[in-house]
Chains A and B, each alone.
Chain A
Amino acid sequence: MEKLIGILKGIRPDVDFETATDLVDSGIIDSFDIVTLVVEMNEAFEIEIGVEDIIPEHFNSVAAMMALVDRLSE
């Protein structure tokens, strides 16, 4: 999780990602941030996030992102 928070802080240093639960729905991160994040996560966790997985539900919180990482790592 620390690795993911490090990536997120690199993209949006102004956001407290550890507590936020509606990052996309509330507009804290936008499509530029999400696509940048996907590229970083693919590299850092050696996974392949497909286009169909780039949906708000998977990026609304650190927990949701980690769940996506875990699923794609299986």
Chain B
Amino acid sequence: MEKITDLSHLSSLMAPYLKKKHITNNFTLPAQYQSSIQQDALYYDCNETSLCLYVDKGEYYRFFYHLYTLDTPMVMETDKPLVAEVAFKGGDYPLNAVLDYFTKLGFQDVTRRCRMEMPAGVQLEPIPCCYEIDYAGKHHVFEVLKVLSLSFDKITGFLPSLQELGEAIEEKHVLCAFDNHEIVGLIHYGYKNTISTICHVAVQEKARNQKVAQSLLAQWRIKTRPENRGFIWVALNNQKARHIYEKVGFQYDGWQAATLLFHE
């Protein structure tokens, strides 16, 4: 595994793979690569038939692959767990073949998620709940991470690092429901260009069934850009969450993703 130090190096590695009929899970745009390069967090290895990219997330690597063929097995060597997401839309993607390939390499197929879209132009009114909704402050960073850790797996839940969370809070991308000064629910989101995607929604046990999630989602929509589309990924089997999202205006848009985990 070797470090990528600039975008031109990455570009030369990827050029042979930006072609039809190769298999990838990589839909990353240059701004995200730049951020990883600046943090000394982007690595690769390659051979004649594959290019693998690794983004160091602290306890694990986000793993991206570009493959010419599923006939040649890769040799997996890593000092941390690898997490890959295989995103696909429609029935023509060779999902089962890809999953078979990675399962044989030792990956576990741990979660299936689907993407739901809030169509452009959908505006929401505030949905009242019995807690105050406001942005998280810098001093909330550890509490936010704790609430997220209670709801999401620390590796396959794609939890942000402390630094990433600090930046998200500074950019006002974390909205919280407060019971006095305690965070009982939160929504963490980001932007790709002008499209806002919700990364995490978490509501503490004691605040559930009180419209906290709906209230947070309405505030997210009001505070982001309702003239544009918005997205959220949700576990395919989480019917309760999917129902809540549908109630506020999200619709399943056909994209799904399998989360794969590898650790030696």
Chain A partners chain B: yes
- A interface list, Cβ under 8 A from B: 24-28, 30-32, 34-35, 38-40, 42-43, 48-52, 54-56
Q: In the complex, are the beta carbons of B193 and A56 less than 8 A apart?
A: yes
Complex CA–CA separation, A2 to B256 (angstroms) = 31
Chain A residues within an 8 Å CB radius of B229: 27-28, 30
Chain A residues within an 8 Å CB radius of B15: 48, 50
Can you sample 12 A-B contacts with CB below 8 Å? Answer: A26-B227, A26-B228, A27-B228, A27-B229, A31-B192, A38-B18, A42-B19, A43-B20, A50-B11, A52-B30, A54-B29, A55-B29
Given known pairs A27-B229, A50-B11, A52-B11, the reply for A32 and B19 (CB within 8 Å) is no
Complex CA–CA separation, A25 to B15 (angstroms) = 25
Q: Is B218 an interface residue (CB 8 A)?
A: no
Given known pairs A26-B227, A42-B18, A48-B18, the reply for A31 and B194 (CB within 8 Å) is no
What's the minimum C-beta distance from B30 to chain A, rounded to whole angstroms?
6
Docked complex: B81-102 residues within 8 A CB-CB of A:
87, 89
Interface 1/0 per residue, B219-253 and A, CB below 8 Å: 00000010111010000000000000000000000
Chain B: which residue is nearest A34 at the CB level? B29
What's the minimum C-beta distance from A53 to chain B, rounded to whole angstroms?
8
Chain A CB within 10 Å, residue with most, of B8, B29, B192 = B29
Of the residues A32, A39, A54, contact of B30 by C-beta under 8 Å: A54
Interface 1/0 per residue, B188-225 and A, CB below 8 Å: 00001111000000000000000000000000000001
Q: In the complex, are the beta carbons of A40 and B20 less than 8 A apart?
A: yes
Number of interface residues of B (CB under 8 A): 28
Q: Is B142 an interface residue (CB 8 A)?
A: no
Chain B CB within 10 Å, residue with most, of A30, A34, A35, A48 = A30
Q: In the complex, are the beta carbons of A27 and B120 less than 8 A apart?
A: yes
What's the minimum C-beta distance from A39 to chain B, rounded to whole angstroms?
6
Chain A residues within an 8 Å CB radius of B29: 31, 34, 54-55
Complex CA–CA separation, A50 to B17 (angstroms) = 10
Q: Closest 6 A-B residue pairs measured CB to CB?
A: A27-B228, A27-B195, A51-B11, A50-B11, A31-B27, A35-B27
Chain A residues within an 8 Å CB radius of B193: 24-25, 27, 30, 56
Complex CA–CA separation, A26 to B195 (angstroms) = 7
Chain A residues within an 8 Å CB radius of B194: 25-27
Interface 1/0 per residue, B160-182 and A, CB below 8 Å: 00000000000000000000000
Complex CA–CA separation, A38 to B7 (angstroms) = 17
Given known pairs A27-B193, A31-B192, A42-B18, the reply for A51 and B30 (CB within 8 Å) is yes
Q: In the complex, are the beta carbons of A49 and B18 less than 8 A apart?
A: yes
Chain B CB within 10 Å, residue with most, of A27, A34, A38, A56 = A27
Chain B: which residue is nearest A49 at the CB level? B18
